[in-house]
Structure 1
Amino acid sequence: MDLEVRHLRALCAIADTGSLHRAARQLGVAQPSLSTQLRRIEQELGGALFVRARTGCRPTPLGSLVLSRARPLVAEMRSLVSEARAAATGGPELRVGSTASKALAGWLRRLRARGQDPTLHMNVSPNALLRMVADGQLDVAFVHEVEGSPLRIPEGLRLRTLMEREPQFVYLSADHPATAHPVVDVGELAGDRWMIDPTVDGEWDAVQRMFRGAGINPHVLHGDYHTATALVATGEVVTVCQPTTLSHPDMAVRRLQGDPLGVRLLLAARTETDLDGALPALEEAYWDSAHQAPAYREWLEGEGAGGCAGHAVPGTGPPLNAFQTPSAYRSTILIAGFKSATF
């Protein structure tokens, strides 16, 4: 067996995610297929590359050695492909990474309208996306940081905050009794089955903290949010959702009393230039999505008026905190050996 770039990419994905399951999702392959591929790579190299434990996969000394050589090779190959495509099309390619977001389509559309050529890489793991930016595999990444579960920010990344605290709402079947009111107390949902995706960094812990705070212990199923949405429509489960999620005839979005769940929305890049080029389009797309979501718009005009990072709510007149220009965004750089500096 000859080692190829795809094999090295698989090893990097396993190391970055710490899990064969998550790595398989990132690579878009079945987990059994990735496990088989890893065994063949280990046979070719003559030893185990990862220790498999209940808490996940971590590199062995041999694995660390291989990864130290594999990462620059993978990054160099990505750069080669990116530069070749740019030369062929006559313009620069912007490699965009993102967790799921209703603003994503509008962001990409606006980037193209500005003359950029974005390509998209989706991942449920914000930490994996940040590592890809740091390694030169992506130019920018739009990620969320679950409250109470800080992200692992690689040194040298620049960050800008789109939303300091975005509340998370709940998705219910349209005929659920709790939909009779615009705001739902989580205690009302103690008897429901919840579906949560445990592969989303920090999500499981945050939901469990919410349950403990409410003094409830509902039945929780594991599953991705595409599956959860389908089951919400039939009344089988309830689930957490982004506030920009829209209600449908068979599904309803409701705010949670006291906003017990929140995330911080961040844009990450290696340079200020990349941030300046990508952020305005993202901001426009995000607030367009917010404008179209009635429950979120109501929250922004009420409880959220003091904490939405100073952005204007589309269609509501002046910005909430008169804070709009790109130069006014908070920018953070993490420097080796020093605390993060905010300016």
Structure 2
Amino acid sequence: MELELRHLRAIRAIAEAGSLTRAATALGLAQPALSAQLRRIERTLGGELFERGRHGVRATALGELVLERTRIVLPAVSELQQEATRFARDAHPETRRLRLRLGGTHGPLLGALVDRLARAAPDAAVSTRASWSEQELAELVTAGRLDFAVLGTCGSAPPPGPEHLRWREIAVDPVFVMLLDDHPLAALPEVDLAALADEEWACVPGDGCFADCFTAACARAGFSPRRMYETDTASCVHLVQVGRAVGLCRATFPPTPGLVTRPLTGTPLTWRHLLGWLPAGGRPDIAATVLAQARGAHADAAGRSDTYAAWLAGADGSREPGGGARAVP
């Protein structure tokens, strides 16, 4: 593993918080995920960075050395990114308003948003960057390298990145299960999680708490998942198509030949779609437009899913697609 800036930020956050649990909360990660990341960083650097005790963590000698470097490296890189962004924009003032840089996690929502923006503003130059890491996308927005990020969080987990990023909720979806159309449970209107206890699983990776929340949901259903394959969307679909696994997907997952998606009984898992930007980044004039187009893209995706429509019609028809839109701190 090569050391990255996000690793240095994690080390700094642990030192400042004095606790892995508090640092994980500040970074928007699950504590086990941060602990695993710290172990990988320590293996890369050749020794322990923190001593663990009953009252938290304390930097070792090696940890102090690394922290000293982070106090130099992180501000310098942030300043470089901001200066480069300002230089690039000032060098082309005539195109400043037409450039829109979007980032997103892997999934159909980013592509649908690009399509809607291209139709709404044909002269805009829209570029995209995809990443499985929500934290990386938040850092790119903070550094001024992206104007907006479209990403998600599990349930009510806090958004990633620093507090001064602004987040707005696009929609909230239930998490569905993806099955072969001839799977024994495919004919059911919804599937009990416990009925899938003997299956292997596939989903896209992320650095939030979704994996932990899924494991907890399985425990409540009375089993531990046998195996989880974390890979890109196309590979997840392939694993389901060949019968290797069942998949976890958002309710808006597009119709795919040979596959069906089904809601899980009781909705044990949900996913929030979020749009984030930096208020001081100079794009408040178009934030409302991008947010409206993102919500429209989600509504379009929901409308193309018969399974989602049937789920929405359940519970006396009182469910609403996407949930309520509200400000996220």
Is TM (by shorter chain) over 0.5?
Answer: yes
- Over 3 Å counting, the alpha-carbon distance change for 1:248 and 1:309 in structure 2 is closer
Contact 1:156–1:270 (8 Å) recurs in 2: yes
1:212 counterpart SS class: helix
Q: CA deviation at 1:80?
A: 3.1
Structure 1 counterpart of 2:224, which letter? N
Contact 1:197-1:204 within 8 A present in 2 as well: no
Contact 1:91–1:117 under 8 Å retained in 2: no
1:141 aligns with 2:149: yes
Name 1:291's counterpart in structure 2: 303
Give the root-mean-square deviation of aligned CA atoms.
3.1
Q: 287-296 vs 150-159, which deviates more? A: 150-159
1:68 to 70, 75, 91: 75
Return the offset for 1:234: 0.6
- Name the aligned partner's letter for residue 104 of structure 1: L
| Alpha-carbon distance in structure 2 between the residues aligned to 1:305 and 1:17 | 42
1:158-173 aligned at under 5 Å gives the runs 158-163=166-171, 165-173=172-180
Per-residue CA deviation, residues 303-343 of structure 1 (Å, 9 max, x unaligned), is 473454667xxxxxxxxxxxxxxxxx5335xxxxxxx5xxx
Q: Aligned partners of 2:160 and 2:209: how far apart in 1? A: 11
C-alpha separation in 2, matches of 1:169 and 1:85: 45
Matches within 5 A, 1:1-343: 11-15=4-8, 60-82=67-89, 84=91, 87=94, 91-115=97-121, 116-147=124-155, 149-163=157-171, 165-226=172-233, 227-271=235-279, 272-303=284-315, 305-306=318-319, 308=321, 330-332=326-328, 340=329
1:291, 1:50 → 2: CA distance? 53
- Percent identity for Structure 1 against Structure 2: 26
Secondary structure (helix, strand or coil) at the match of 1:179 reads coil
- Is the alpha carbon distance of 1:202 and 1:82 closer, same or farther for their aligned partners in structure 2, counting shifts above 3 Å? farther
Change (3 A) 1:101 1:117: same
Deviation at 1:188?
1.0
Runs (4 or more) in structure 1 with deviation over 4 Å come to: 48-53, 82-87, 307-311
Query: Conserved in 1, the CA contact under 8 Å of 2:203 and 2:249?
Result: no
1:265 partner amino acid: H
TM-score by length of 2: 0.73
Distance change in 2, residues 1:283/1:289 (3 Å): same
Question: How far apart are the structure 1 equivalents of 2:70 and 2:107?
Answer: 34
- State TM-score, norm by structure 1: 0.70
Cα separation, 2, equivalents of 1:133 and 1:49:
32
> Are the equivalent residues in 2 in contact too, given 1:192–1:238 (CA < 8 A)?
yes
Q: 1:266 to 1:179 in 2, by over 3 A?
A: same
Cα deviations by residue, 1:89-123 (Å, 9 ceiling, x for unpaired): 57521111111232222211221222232211111
Q: Is the 8 A contact 2:254 2:301 kept in 1?
A: no
Amino acid in the other structure paired with 1:240: L
Measure the CA separation in 2 of the matches of 1:90 and 1:153.
Answer: 25
Higher relative contact order (CA 8 A, sep 6+): 2
Q: Distance in 2 between the 1:109 and 1:49 partners?
A: 47
CA displacement at 1:133 relative to structure 2: 1.5
Paired residue type of 2:104: S
With over 3 angstroms needed to count, the CA separation of the structure-2 counterparts of 1:250 and 1:86, relative to structure 1, is farther
Instruction: List alignment gaps of at least 5 residues for structure 2.
Output: 12-40, 51-62
Post-superposition offset of 1:148: 5.3
Q: CA deviation at 1:232?
A: 0.4
CA distance in 2, matches of 1:66, 1:127: 19
